[in-house]
Amino acid sequence: MSSSRSLPSSSVLSGNPRISVVIPLYNCLALTHAMLASLQATLPPGLSHEIIYVDDGSTDGTRDWLATLPAPAFQVILNERNLGYAVGNNRGAAVAKGEILFLLNNDLVLLPGWIEPMLSAHEKLRGVAGLIGNVQLDATTGTVDHAGLVLNLTGKPVHARTIPNGFSRLLRPIRIVPAVTGACVMVARNLWQELGGFDEGYINGGEDIDLCFRARATGRKNAVALRSVVRHHISSSRGRKVRDEENSRRLARKWRTEFIAAADDGTRTWCRNYLAQAFGVPRSREYRLAIAACAFLAHVRRHPPPEAIAGVAAGMDIEFARWEKMFATENNG
């Protein structure tokens, strides 16, 4: 069984905190130390909060360190064994008291001013706010690793890695996206409870995208707060990627129709590829489709041409065929 020490936050003088920060742990103690230091340095003064650590069977001294944390400031949950990312976050969120949940990986480096734009984005979206993410830089290279999740040419969720310039982010600080990564995300606790938290059938991957699409299904909008920037030591926990293909197939099976419908990035890629081919081979030109593709790329046309949607669906068919072959081979082996 898991064990829990329920310790009220020292920043909450009375009543419940405004935010609950849930941080799942699995080894990487040095990164956890650095992440906590950056969290404590960047939380705005007066923002009532609680910090909830959920250890998922660490063996590197993390549990000994957790035992030293001052009782008024932290809440600690110790899983009986390694149960995975979804279970860890669900257990942390289950004891949270804040109206807003922040789910944070322990390998983040939080930069000054990261939290205010996320809270502002949530407020601006009001009753339709889903999950709010932010811009994440690769902690090693400094390049953009995440500015939302989009659907590619095969209808597969991938990280958007481009952001507008500073002036554009000032004018339009919120980007509506199909999904965001769970590495640094905020969500209203009542929405989390309504959706039932993460689906624990996903093992260390896919649970965040699934939750985002469940939020979309209720009419909520997921978004990136473009003026919120953090650094992320990507996939630092050992074994993080082991179940990627299984998680991706499970996601695609559940959300195939929605993935195709949301594949704005994928259909735009299809249109660009089509135009490059069509104008390179004059005899293959189809002016109606070329005009429709140009209009869609120029945002004059709201919806992609049917051929682009069919192209993304065909890409998904290829992915499913690959998965069937892959898992049939594994099962036969």
The residue-averaged pLDDT of 20-37 equals: 97
Closest CA to 237 of 60, 99, 92, 101: 60
Q: Would you say residue 9 has pLDDT above 70? A: no
Domain boundary among 259, 284, 299: 259
Question: The whole model's pTM is what?
Answer: 0.90
Closest CA to 202 of 269, 157, 170, 159: 157
> CA 116 from chain center: how many Å?
18
Q: Give the chain's mean pLDDT.
A: 91
For the stretch 89-100, pLDDT in tens is 999 999 999 999
- Residues of the chain above pLDDT 90, percent: 83
Residues 328, 253 share a domain = no
Question: Taking every pair of C-alpha atoms in the chain, what is the biggest distance, in angstroms?
Answer: 74
Residue-level pLDDT at 5: 40
Residue-level pLDDT at 333: 56
Cα first-last separation, the chain: 35
> CA 309 from chain center: how many Å?
25
> Binning pLDDT at 50, 70 and 90, where does residue 332 land?
low
> Binning pLDDT at 50, 70 and 90, where does residue 185 land?
very high
- Residue type (1 letter), 79: N
Residues 291, 239 share a domain = no
Residues 297, 199 share a domain = no
Residues 128, 47 share a domain = yes
Residue-level pLDDT at 1: 42
Closest CA to 97 of 220, 8, 174: 8
For the stretch 281-327, pLDDT in tens is 655 557 899 999 999 999 999 999 999 999 999 999 999 999 999 98
- Residues of the chain above pLDDT 70, percent: 90
Q: Would you say residue 7 has pLDDT above 90? A: no
Residues 289, 275 share a domain = yes
Domain boundary among 208, 238, 259: 259
Residue-level pLDDT at 238: 61
